[in-house]
Every structure is written in structure tokens, then in C-alpha cells.
Copies of this chain bind each other. A is one copy, B any other.
Amino acid sequence: MSDRTPPSVTRRRLLVRGCDVLRVPVEGECDVLSGRDIVVADGVIVDVRPTRAQRAEEPGTEVVDGRGLLALPGLVNAHTHSPMVLMRGAAEDVTVEGWFNDRVWPMESNLTAEDVRTGALLACAEMIRSGVTTFADHYFFPDRIAEAVAETGLRADIAPTYFSSGGASALEAGVAFAEAWHGGADGRVTVSLGPHAPYTVDDQDLRTLADHARRLGVRMHIHAAEHLEQTQSSLERRGITPVRVLYDTGVLDAGALIAHGCGIVERDLSLLAEYADRTAVACCPKVYLKHALSPLTPVRDLLGAGITVAVGTDGAAGHNTLDVWEALRLVALTQKQAVRDATWMTVSDTLRTAVRGGARALGLQDRIGALEPGMRADIVLTDLSGPHCRPLHDARAALVYSARASDVRTVVVDGRVLMRDGRLLTVDEPALLAEADARVARILDTSHGRAVQHYDP
């Protein structure tokens, strides 16, 4: 593990001074506390108190000036494939089948471990800039992603992507990754096991992986019921829905983060509800619209059944960014339209879904998702003073409907400042961008005719 974290000193202290603080309660309206100091010791928030500019700090305390800025809990990207930033914009205006079979899965067959490392670093840079402090990843060469997370200081849950076509050695490699990295990088890296989907992983493998997950105390992260046609296809082929497959094979019992779930149907809700304490659905609406899917994730039905919903971007080969602001805004907009009710998925509910929902979806609700004493210090300072946010009648509405990733000024993860006033501190951005550019031509060349898999759900 490479990790640029400086050597620990006793009681590493950080003070974010004079900021406003977004409070995201478990239920009810979010609100904003004015003029607060956030006190952090050894990566943990120990106090959120009214600011006093002249207070003497303990010697060695790192101070971040938060005046004029709004602190919010770090955003959680609850489903992505971070290294796919390397394919951003390289698969436009195609069908879902064409996207997989003609573009993305052939390109992915070109990827080397070093490509993945570069892609993950680039993704981390983009996410830090966007105020994303935690992401749930699902990809190949997961150890290289974990190294990138360790190095850049982000927090991530990483699932090694597994197809049954990879065979026993691939399955075992994924399990070995979990054994090596779960709890790594000072606890910032957790691992989930990552069977790709019920249509690419057979039931026996799902059972085996669920058994490993229970043994290791980790969860599963899997694509399922991505759209209604997949559910219909599963019903036709085998008489049960994809969610029922997860139920029958013990995946839900192990705890599952389900990506997309646009094809979750009424009969699935009680199956998911049975494991509501450890099962969640990540909604990534931009890619559903772009792939012309309908219906979308049934968020109201899921929340009504007590199932956690979180916000994700999916990979940038479809979403084009890893921008959770964009994703949470689209959750609000598309869910209002989906149920023809402009009064639901309110600004408070949307913010709660993006932070508390994301934390819960990754099993991290005791560590992140709120700026409260006892929580890890994952803090995003945003500047809502630009003309596109003014007058600022309602900071919550500004966060959901006006703010942009570029309004993020300073980002703290686990008490460590990763970006200060727009400057990345843990990434050499120019070198990284040049490195990514140098890899592109080879990755885009699909003249060989290979692919990592064939899409036929």
C-alpha cells in the first residue's frame, strides 16, 4: 500500500472556523446553523460549536477559514466504476446493447493494471474537486483502485468486478482482495464482493460469494434489475425476478448494494424489506435518461418499504462526469416527474438521500453522512456567493438546484484536507492528466474484436 499520509502525531487537530453548517437530520427538514467552528481530532468531529474568532487553539491545530462558506457532509457517490473516466465521451448516442457490445466492453479488454490506476487517480481528482468524499466502486484491478484511494485520501468501498466467465481463480482473487484491503488505508477503504449481475454470474457463484461475504463481514455490490426489460427477461427465462435471484442465493442476506434497480417490481419490495437493515439501491438517473430507459428506479416505493436509496453517477463512460451534484439534482427532478408529484422528493429529502442514504448504502452510517460529534470528519466547504445562487433565499434549495461542483472550495476527508480553496493537495493534477492522455489511443482501439463479456441480459 502506498499512502502519502504524513506520519501521525498525537491528537492530530483540525479546526474549520466560522462556517455555516448544513444539518441533515434522519427525518424532517434540513437546516443551516450559522457561524460555527467544527473541531476535529484524529479524524473525528469532536464539536460543532458557535464560532469565537479569538479562541486560543491547541498548538499544532491546522485551521481552515470557513467564513462565508457552507459546510456540508461529504457527498457519497453510491455507484461508479471510477477508472471508466478514461472512456469519458467515447460511447455517445448509441443503444444500451451498442454501448456494451460495440464500445465499452471491447475498450475494457484493453485495460491494464496501470491504466486502471491512472483512471482511478483521475476519478479521485475529479471527485475531490466535486465534493465527493466517499464512493462505491465496482471494477477490475481493484487493488490499483485501493492504492489510488489510499494515496489521494478519499474514502471508498471497492468491489472487485466478477463474471462467472472468469472462473474460480477470478472469484478467489476477489475474495483475496477483500481479505487484504477491507479496513485498509486507516479504515478509509472497505470492500464489498462484486458479482457483476445475475445475468453474468450464475447462482452457484452468487451463493459462494454470499458465503464469503458473511464469513468476512463484508457486503455485496451488484447490478440487478437494471431496467424493466431485464426483469421481464429473467421472468421469461427462469420464472423469477433478478431481486428474487439475489434473495434466493443469499446475496440480500449478506447485505447488498444494488445498482440501478429500475426494473424492481412490486413483488420485489417485500424481499428487499426483509433485509432493509443491510440492503440499498443506488439510483443514477443521468445514465437512465441517456440510455432512454423508462421506468426509473422506483424510489418512492423503495423508501415507502423502508429500503435505503442512495445517489450514484455510474461510470463516466455513460455519465460523462462523477459529479454527484448533477446526480442528486436529477434524482429530485426525475422522481418528481416519475410519480407526477412536484411536492415530494423535497430539497431536504434529496440532500438526505445524497448523504445519509449514501452512508447507509455503504454500511457507513455510524461513520459518515452528518457533521456531528463522533462522526468521521468528511467535510465539504461550498461557496454559495456566486450570482447563480443569489439572492440566497434557501441554502438547501441552492444546493439541490443551483450549486455546481465548481462551487466546492475545500474538502476534508477523515480530518485531512485534500483540497484547500480549489487546490488539490494529494494529486499532481497536471502530471496525472498528461498520463491519462498518453494512454487513450490504445484504450480506444477496438480493432482486435475482443470484449470482456457479451451483453445479452
Q: Is the CB of B346 within 8 A of A388?
A: no
Q: Is the CB of B126 within 8 A of A92?
A: no
A112 at the interface (CB under 8 A from B): no
Which of A69-77, A181-189, A291-299 lies at the binding interface?
A291-299
A404 contacts which chain B residues (CB < 8 A)? 404-406
Which 3 residue pairs across A and B have the least CB separation, nearest first? A320-B401, A406-B406, A89-B397
Decide if A288 is an interface residue (CB 8 Å cutoff): yes
A88 contacts across to B, CB distance below 8 A: 389-391, 393, 397-398, 402
* A196 vs chain B, min Cβ distance (A): 21
Stretch at the interface among A40-48, A247-255, A336-344: A336-344
CA distance A431 to B268 in the complex (A): 56
CB pairs A–B below 8 angstroms (29 shown): A88-B390, A88-B398, A88-B402, A89-B394, A92-B397, A93-B344, A93-B347, A126-B387, A129-B387, A289-B333, A290-B333, A292-B339, A292-B340, A292-B341, A292-B342, A293-B337, A294-B340, A320-B398, A320-B401, A321-B401, A385-B433, A387-B429, A388-B405, A390-B433, A390-B436, A391-B436, A391-B437, A391-B440, A404-B405
CA distance in complex: A195, B36 (Å): 49
A260: chain B residues at CB < 8 Å are none
Instruction: Classify chain A's interface size.
Output: 35 or more
Chain B's closest residue to A444 (CB) is B393
**A303 beta carbon closer than 8 Å to chain B:** no
Q: Which residues of B contact A87 (CB under 8 A)?
A: 393
A154 → B minimal CB distance (Å): 14
A269 within 8 A of B: no
Bound Cα distance from A122 to B402, whole angstroms: 15
User: A95-B343, A292-B342 known; A394 and B90 CB under 8 Å?
Assistant: yes
Provide the residues of chain B in CB contact with A98, threshold 8 Å: 343
Alpha-carbon separation in the docked complex, A340 to B88 (Å): 23
Known: A93-B344, A290-B401. 9 other contacts (CB 8 A): A88-B390, A89-B401, A130-B388, A319-B401, A320-B401, A321-B388, A322-B388, A387-B433, A391-B440
- Tell whether A425 is near chain B: CB-to-CB under 8 Å: no
User: Complex formed: what's the CA distance from A336 to B95 in Å?
Assistant: 10
Report A297 CB to chain B, min CB distance, Å.
13
**Across-interface contacts of A144 in B (CB, < 8 A):** none
The verdict on A109 contacting chain B, using a C-beta distance below 8 Å, is: no
- Residues of B contacting A1 in the complex (Cβ-Cβ under 8 angstroms): none
| Residue A412, interface by CB 8 Å | no
How far is the CB of A354 from the nearest CB of chain B, in Å? 16
- Assess whether A180 is interfacial by the CB under 8 Å rule: no
Of residues 318 through 353 on chain A, the ones whose CB sits less than 8 Å from some CB of chain B are 319-323, 332-334, 336-337, 339-344, 346-347
CA distance in complex: A88, B130 (Å): 23
A96 within 8 A of B: yes
Bound Cα distance A349, B129 (Å): 30
Say how far A115's CB is from chain B's closest CB, in angstroms: 11
**Once the chains bind, are B129 and A292 in contact (CB under 8 Å)?**
no
List, in ascending order, chain B residues with CB within 8 A of A341's CB: 292
Say whether B122 contacts A390, CB under 8 Å. yes
In the bound complex, CA of A290 to CA of B346 (Å) = 10
Instruction: Return chain B residues, CB-CB under 8 Å to A90.
Output: 393-394
